[in-house]
Structures are given as structure tokens and as C-alpha cells.
Chain A
């Protein structure tokens, strides 16, 4: 469940994060201002709060449905699906702001001359950004994006707040049932996270070296 949460949230965050970064550097002041405010506001709210608001307020009070309730099927299935999707949306909202900041830092690494050259041959802003700047920016920030992904992997434990059956909730149940094996449970969970994050870190480090734009 931890892996699934991470996977879907990572994809969503990357897309939304790049979009936000593009808005933050766009020539339209309104877009820039909106993206800037959005990022600064979301980043300063605890993830726990975002996830809980997703479930308690957006879903329960405002009645937003992200899953189908089918007649005859155990309502628990609906609840599980709903909470899983709510958690993913919450993670995307939160993590995309960090992706946005990473990509924006990457945009600053692209030499200004390239953007100027791109403009000189008549490319429009969207083309300059999409064809010339962003591809290089993303390659420059592969390693920081890896860090964001690792942070996201660890953050998925917060989904236990709304009852998504990921590792933290599992650990809690295990401890309740077998209190005497506390240390063993902890070591297993810890090892699980190291197994998840260690290859991610190695992979992104390797990828960053491989894809680095030599200047």
C-alpha cells in the first residue's frame, strides 16, 4: 500500500509541480502571483492537516466522492478506495509544491544565453520553456527530485491518519497485538523503509550523473 500510494502520488506531483513551476516563471503576473502564493501557503501547512482535511472536510462534510459506492458490495471497499484516492490527492497537492521549487531551482541553472538564443530564433515563451529550458532544468534537478521522492515515500505513513492501511497503521496494529515484540516490529518496519529508500537514492544519484548536462 505504501508503494502504491508513493507511485500514484509521485506521478501526480511531478506533473502538477512542473506546471506550477512553469506558472511561477511565466510572463503573466497573475499566473506568477497565484502559483507563488499557492506554493508558499501549501508548503507551510502540515501534511497531516491536509490529509485529514481531505477526508473529514472535503469528503465527509462537502460530500466529494472519488470512488463509486456500488450496491451489494461491502461498503468498506468503497471507504478504502475513497480514502486511498483522497490520500493520493492530498499527497499530490503537498508534494507538488516541493517539486515546483526544485524545478524552479533547475531553471536557474540553465544559462541565460540559451533562452536568449531560443528567443532570437523566434520561439515563443511556451516553446522556450517547453523545448529548451524545462528539459535541461529537469535533468539538472534529478537528484533533488530523488530526495523529494524519498520524502514522499516516508510521508505516505501520514495516510494512517485517515485509515489507509499502510505501514504505520500496520505497525500500530501489530504492536497492539504483540506488544512484547515491539523492537522486532520496529526493526522490520525500519528495514522495509531502508529497502525502499536506499535503491531510490542510489538510482537517482546514478541517473543524475548520467543525465547531467555538461557545461
Chain B
């Protein structure tokens, strides 16, 4: 550490404040540290190359790298027959679910904040109940229930109802966090000028809650898109994963097709994640003062009691950035 050039470190730190978090754990590397880092890099890089080589030779040995297994992926007929309808089915279920779940979530979220215990408690029970149950169980129940009620099997209804029940509850928590995140002074001020409860909610709290929870809703879409794949298992909804399976049996290229749709899922979800990040940034810079934003982690990890899955994070507003 003594070999550190006297003025190199502060300069380097000042130059990249964003990197500060990482460098809290280690110094700007000196000659010895750089040597160690290089060795670790080379060893790890070699391991990665070895692994890649092993995987590739194994695949080649199993005849997985031949051209005819990969060409169906760019065959237009494969796309129009299997993959695009599957992708559409996935998006259809995801979008419809979120559109239905949003108002339900809003109602439940508001109900949980009600002054009346007889409204608050049932809403709390509903939210906690549906959050505690795996989506696939909800889908299965909705599917069978639909069948018993209407006499027709509708995998689509099963998937959408299952997703709505689950995500409605999760979004209810997001709404609740969003409403609670509005500074208390606003409600007090509204009461002082004589607004009624309903007016405060619709005129003051909800609009702010909705903007602040937008990023969380978009991140929740990632969870919903991933969860549509559950519909292909027990309920038999032909979404992207299941459609890909059929396509793969047709062309005999299971590995290749799954690699492709994994990439499709990753691209869709990364786009959604970056959209959420963009919205968050916009909301942060648009408002002055301290803005609080409700966020959920990407997996919709739910907890029956703790509300860690919907955390309210303080985000410094414009003023604070200016101060720095």
C-alpha cells in the first residue's frame, strides 16, 4: 500500500465517484495487487475458456452443433407456425393480467388503508392469502373452477385469473406503499382546507402514488411475463415455452430452440427492466425536494408478514443533487 503514488489515489477517486461503492472494499490497486488481480483474471479466464471448450466439445459429440439443428431457428415457417403465436400468447396473457390486476390492486390497496376495520380486515386477508399461494396452484384452481362453472376448458382464463389473483395482491401492496409514501403533511393540509376523505384520496394521494409506483408496476411485468410460462405446465396454455417445445419436437432441436427462447425472454425482460429504470430516473429528476419511490424487486418475492417485497426507498430529489 505504501507504494501507492501519493497523489494518484485521490485523483482517481475524485474522477469516478460512481465507482466509490466498489472501491470501499479495496484500494486503488498497487503494483502487487495488480499482479494478483492479473493472475486471478488469467486463472478465471482460463477456467471459463476450459468450461466453454468442454461444453462445446460435449455438444459437438452429441451432434448438437450441426447446422440443420440451428437453421430452423431462422426458418420463417417455424416462427409463423409456433414461435410468434407462442410469443403473442405470452404477451396477451401478461398484458391482460396486468390491466385487470391494476384496478383490483388499487381497490385492495386503498381498502387496506381504510378507517373502517370491516373494510381493512377483509382486504388484508385477501391480499395476504393470495400472496401466500403459488401462482401455479392459483392457475390450476382457476382453470378447474372455470371448467366446472362454464363447462368449457379455457387454459387462457385459468392463466389470466391465476395471474390476476396473485399480482392483484402484490400490486395492492405496491399501491399501499405508494400512498403511504406521500408525505403526511399533504393529507393534513388537505384536511385543513376542508377536503373530504374521498377527495383527498382521488385528488391528492392517488395521482402521486400512481406516478411513484410506475417503475414498480413495470418491474412487476417482468414477473408476470416469466410467470406466464407456468401456464404451460399443468393447465396446458400454449405460451412461448410450450409452443417452443412443440416446435422443437417437430424439428428435433430441443436445445437450440430453448436457447433461442431463453434469449427472447431475457431481451423482453431486460427491456422492461431498463424501462422501469428510465421511469424511475425521470420521476426522480422531475420533482423537487425529497421524492419517495416505491419499488419491488424483480421477482415479486412475497412475504406474508414482513413487507420486504414492497420497499419504499428514499430517493434524493433535485435539490439534494444540487447541494452536492
Query: Which residues of A approach B to under 8 Å, CB–CB?
Result: 25, 27-32, 34, 40-41, 43-49, 52-53, 56-57, 61-63, 98, 101, 107-108, 112, 115-116, 119, 125, 128-129, 133, 143-144, 146-148, 150-151, 154-155, 157-158, 160-161, 167-169, 171-172, 175, 179, 182-183, 186, 189-190, 193-194, 197-198, 201-202, 204-205, 208
Contacts and interface: CB of A to CB of B under 8 A. Distances in A.
Contacts of B129: 190, 194
B175 to A, nearest CB: 19
Interface residues of B, number: 65
Nearest to A172: B234
Please classify the interface of chain B as helix (H, G, I), strand (E, B), loop, or mixed, using the class held by over half of its residues. helix
A167 to B, nearest CB: 7
Contact of A168 (B25, B134, B245): B134
B305 A47 contact: no
A171 B229 contact: no
Nearest to B128: A194
B92 interface: no
B254 A56 contact: yes
Given A49-B262, A158-B136, A168-B134, A29 B270 contact: no
A208 B302 CA distance: 16
Contacts of A197: 132, 304
A119 B309 contact: no
Contacts of A53: 258, 262
A167 B145 CA distance: 18
B62 interface: yes
A115 B273 CA distance: 31
B266 interface: yes
Given A151-B299, A155-B134, A115 B24 contact: yes
A34 B26 contact: no
B284 interface: no
Nearest to B20: A112
Contacts of B233: 48, 158, 160-161
Contacts of B211: none
Contact of A27 (B29, B144, B148): B29
Contacts of B255: 57, 61-62
A99 B44 CA distance: 22
Contacts of B64: 61-62
Interface stretch (B33-41, B77-85, B96-104): B33-41
A63 B33 CA distance: 43
A115 B24 CA distance: 6
A28 B44 CA distance: 10
Contacts of A151: 299-302
Contact of A98 (B21, B301, B304): B301
Contact of A101 (B1, B297, B302, B305): B297
Contacts of B29: 27
A46 B64 CA distance: 23
Contact of A49 (B33, B58, B265): B265
B234 A168 contact: yes
A128 B308 contact: no
Contact of B270 (A40, A56, A154): A40
A61 B254 contact: yes
A168 B136 contact: yes
Among A32, A107, A125, A154, the most chain B Cβ lie within 10 Å of the Cβ of A154
A150 B44 contact: no
Contacts of A183: 145
Contacts of A49: 229, 241, 258, 261-262, 265
A28 B301 contact: no
A65 B300 CA distance: 33
Given A34-B48, A151-B302, A186 B137 contact: yes
B230 interface: yes
Nearest to A51: B233
B41 A29 contact: yes
Contacts of A129: 25
B45 A193 contact: no
A112 B304 CA distance: 33
B227 to A, nearest CB: 7
Given A98-B299, A171-B140, A125 B26 contact: yes
Given A28-B37, A98-B299, A125-B26, 9 more contacts: A30-B44, A112-B24, A128-B26, A129-B25, A143-B303, A146-B308, A147-B301, A147-B303, A158-B233
